Structure 1
């Protein structure tokens, strides 16, 4: 009896210790160092009062590239844009007639731009098509790689210079094949056998080097009920990682919190250039059998008869690594435009990667008018960090972060106010008490619209005395938007 009581007491003590440890871990301050934090999720927010996390929709800037070459055409898709210093590189599948995934008529095409707006298709002279090498094709006859060729510029500091560019491509039958390139134009297989086979892959399967995880990360097509091998349920996403781009981990299915499942035809997951620990997924949400066009309307637009029975739009998700997506925003991020040509199957598919096209502007690109002679890419613009904000109405309100630990000496914010609005910042200790010298009445009232503003308290911008300690930030906003914040060295 005594022994049973002793064992029970020890077990309860152990369980209590586990509970206390878990609580301590849950309440531990979050290390943000000098990272930029944006508001595509609520993971660093502890309280909102009178304010909301608001998604902002990009502005339509019009068509920038038509799929008008004989080897491109109506079914060009699965596009990727890469910013390499002062050059933008665009890769996309070229194919004029629909056919079996991975057939030999599919090629990988290339265009480039100095500003992300005006594009040229250089005559590369690499592959012969229809008796001529005067084309912009960087991959052909590599069945089935050109179906969904997905390249990236390797940010791994230890990467081989001859493999600065890498890519994955393939179907379920072939598995994902690895390709490498020194210049982003001349590609070769890294090896003759696939590097990863445990997926369905009937989509664009994105891959990149993660600075925060120190791994190569691949997000690829699976199905919600069929898993890694069967076409059942909803089109969904799996994840695998690698240290060397050749040997990949056992795959895991991505989760979506409490959000309802959508058909995610593409997910386009990639690090955000100004905050690479944040992975943005501006993907295509597919709505099967949600038909808008009549057969007669489709015929006028010359839409392929098999491709007007559905519609799709773009959604915004995010991840901080691991196998979880955050779906703070369920609503559409980019809606189909005015005109029936925008309401066909597999249109409105975002191009992989968000790029910076001016000191104040980001660009998002979308593949539109699919399965039609007018198929093209359109550019959308938004301010830097402007995916979402903490938005306050005229009556004002505040947002408080969770306890954070930073390094640096000044606090930078990206914000906008009305002429009547303003922003003030208070720094609290881990228990929520205002810290002397950094109270709200010490804060300089900030009015304006700036990508970068340094916060001050009584003319003092130096917060280095608080570095390494657990603090909370309390932002007071009135008729204003806060897009991001970070601590600077």
Structure 2
């Protein structure tokens, strides 16, 4: 598959590189790119407060040091767009066990005993915050957000604690686009500016455009994102954000909408208490990536998270992932998915993955290999995140830019790599030092048998 328009800049420095695209792949022989399904870990928390309910959606998860914060729209059993839309908040110390604090900020249903952080109807349809990593960000604007919809435009907000929010301007900062789903933003250290990915339309399909800003208030004109040779599909949400272990790669784990695929019958919907307007379509989760610019790479067209067993998973607008993947143990990361939308059992569900384990370079028992494109690295050792079977193994070979073996770094001199580790240093002739090749153009050839490589980096 082609690189679908990515820049051919081959300087990778000491970045961690994932096998979510073919950015560095030149040739595959007996090997392939394999996407890995996250593991269902059950309900993270139910959306069962009277002010939350069936239509709660557009969730964001932020890990700030030892605190995990969840933001989501609360909307009970009423039509979307009603003035009862609220922004709710939940918190966790481990990303697994969640609670909803009584914040006492806004009165709802005659009481301030609730977890509501926003009640402004201009802001609560699809409030989407982020932790600002801009080194020049003001201390009282540690958190930023965009919120609004097509009829209002998107407003910019800020917060010092992630709970109490204020508008930074009284007028919207973005007015173009459809804006009726989650419009996500973040600070990009690689591009040195703020980015927003927002809902637009492309040839009748729900799609994505991108704009940028240096101050989060003045934004350039948005440009439509392209998908290379991938067919257009309805991308209801896209959830684009830098992967926390490789921020040069923006991962998009969003909701794919199939508007004309009805699975649940009218009779079944009535029995399940599903809102009549929300069962004549279905949705699942997809995975794509970008390395900046107006291009997504959709290397994998298959579903990243398939709908689960049971008709409750086959309802319109269920299975929409929350924004952001967060680390939840030394070896695990988690993604959260809104499920049972428009149903009394609406909830946020947690799925787990191995660190970097979205996809991998893979080969079966018969073995295979991958030849990289020429690239330049910085560092003194090569580290792999990998797994093999007991019968499997991996060898790494470093070549010059013309594909010739470099003495001291051939396959024959590489110590066999066997096991299952998140960080394993590669040895050649009992030596790990590759510093003499740092800054030079090289290729890498990876030989695998019954093995997977999830990521690598020079460090």
- Tell me by how many angstroms 1:423 deviates: 0.6
1:91 matched to which residue of 2? 71
The answer to whether residue 277 in structure 2 is matched with residue 306 in structure 1 is: yes
Contact 1:28 1:403 in 2 (8 A): no
1:347 matched to which residue of 2? 318
Of the candidates 191, 213, 220, which is equivalent to residue 242 of structure 1? 213
Q: 1:251 to 1:293 in 2, by over 3 A?
A: same
Of the candidates 354, 370, 374, which is equivalent to residue 345 of structure 2? 374
Q: Any idea what the Cα deviations from partners look like across 1:84-131, whole Å, max 9, x if unmatched?
A: 001100000001033253x32000000000111100100000001111
Give 1:18-417 correspondences, 5 Å limit: 30-101=10-81, 103-140=82-119, 142-225=120-203, 233-417=204-388
Task: Indicate the SS of the match to 2:172.
Answer: coil
Give the number of equivalent residue pairs: 454
- Tell me by how many angstroms 1:28 deviates: 7.2
Contact 1:29 1:405 in 2 (8 A): no
- Tell me by how many angstroms 1:313 deviates: 0.3
Question: In 1, Cα distance between the equivalents of 2:220 and 2:15?
Answer: 28
Question: In 1, Cα distance between the equivalents of 2:130 and 2:182?
Answer: 13
Unpaired stretches in structure 2, ≥5 consecutive residues: 1-5
Question: In 1, Cα distance between the equivalents of 2:89 and 2:258?
Answer: 30
Q: 1:194 to 1:27 in 2, by over 3 A?
A: closer
Q: Any idea what the Cα deviations from partners look like across 1:308-345, whole Å, max 9, x if unmatched?
A: 00000000010001010000000111000000001001
- Tell me by how many angstroms 1:485 deviates: 0.4
- Between Structure 1 and Structure 2, which shows a larger proportion of helix residues? 1
Instruction: Give the 4+ runs in structure 1 shifted more than 3 A.
Output: 26-29
Q: Any idea what the Cα deviations from partners look like across 1:152-196, whole Å, max 9, x if unmatched?
A: 000101000100000001111110001100000000001100011
The answer to whether residue 426 in structure 2 is matched with residue 455 in structure 1 is: yes
Question: In 2, Cα distance between the equivalents of 1:383 and 1:475?
Answer: 21
Q: Any idea what the Cα deviations from partners look like across 1:282-326, whole Å, max 9, x if unmatched?
A: 010000021011111011110001110000000001000101000
Question: In 2, Cα distance between the equivalents of 1:210 and 1:468?
Answer: 25
- Tell me by how many angstroms 1:29 deviates: 6.3
Contact 1:356 1:362 in 2 (8 A): yes
- Greater Rg by CA: 1
Contact 2:40 2:351 in 1 (8 A): yes
The answer to whether residue 411 in structure 2 is matched with residue 440 in structure 1 is: yes
Question: In 2, Cα distance between the equivalents of 1:52 and 1:93?
Answer: 40
Normalising by structure 2, what TM-score? 0.98
Contact 2:55 2:80 in 1 (8 A): no
Task: Indicate the SS of the match to 1:147.
Answer: coil
- Calculate the aligned-residue CA RMSD, in Å: 1.1
Question: In 2, Cα distance between the equivalents of 1:98 and 1:322?
Answer: 39
